[in-house]
């Protein structure tokens, strides 16, 4: 099963996830969505399994720095998708694709459960 980890390399949580996967000898591809971009179809696919309110990191600096009217405009999958493509830093990281099954965030316990 192909695994892809989406994120940005300087994010501490992404670093922890990459380290954990490497230590478990789990092969994966890392996709830096700031440098490599993010396709609408990919993010739309995430939204089929992950609620937009989970996927949009509303606790992060990027969200807090958005104008209030921009934040207020994010009310559903479509508006969240537009924001994620416009400002990828607002996406909660990392997003893990395990052959079409998606999860977001990282903890060792979470990944242990995913890879049992």
94 touches 14 (CB < 8 A): yes
Q: What share of the chain is helix, strand, coil (3-state, %, to 5)?
A: 45, 15, 40
Encode pLDDT of 38-60 as tens digits.
Answer: 999 999 999 999 999 999 999 99
- Answer yes or no: are the C-beta atoms of 58 and 80 closer than 8 Å: no
Per-residue pLDDT for 116 more than 90? no
Active-site residue among 3, 5, 6, 11? Answer: 11
Residue-wise pLDDT tens digits, 77-114: 999 999 999 999 999 999 999 999 999 999 999 999 99
Burial class (CB in 10 A: 0-12, 13-18, 19+), 100: exposed
Q: Give pLDDT tens digits for 11-37.
A: 999 999 999 999 999 999 999 998 999
Domains with residue ranges and CATH for the chain: 3-114 (3.40.30.10)
pTM over 0.85: yes
| Active-site residue, 6 included | no
């Amino acid at each position: 099963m192909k695994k892809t980890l989406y994120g940005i390399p300087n994010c501490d949580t992404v670093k922890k996830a990459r380290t954990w996967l490497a230590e478990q000898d789990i092969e994966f591809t890392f996709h830096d969505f700031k440098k490599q971009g993010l396709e609408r179809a990919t993010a739309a696919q995430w939204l089929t399994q992950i609620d937009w309110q989970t996927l949009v990191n509303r606790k992060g600096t990027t969200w807090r720095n958005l104008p209030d009217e921009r934040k207020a405009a994010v009310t559903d999958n479509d508006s969240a998708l537009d924001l994620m493509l416009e400002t990828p830093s607002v996406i909660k990281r990392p997003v893990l694709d395990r052959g079409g099954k998606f999860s977001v965030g990282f903890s060792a316990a979470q990944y242990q459960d995913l890879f049992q």
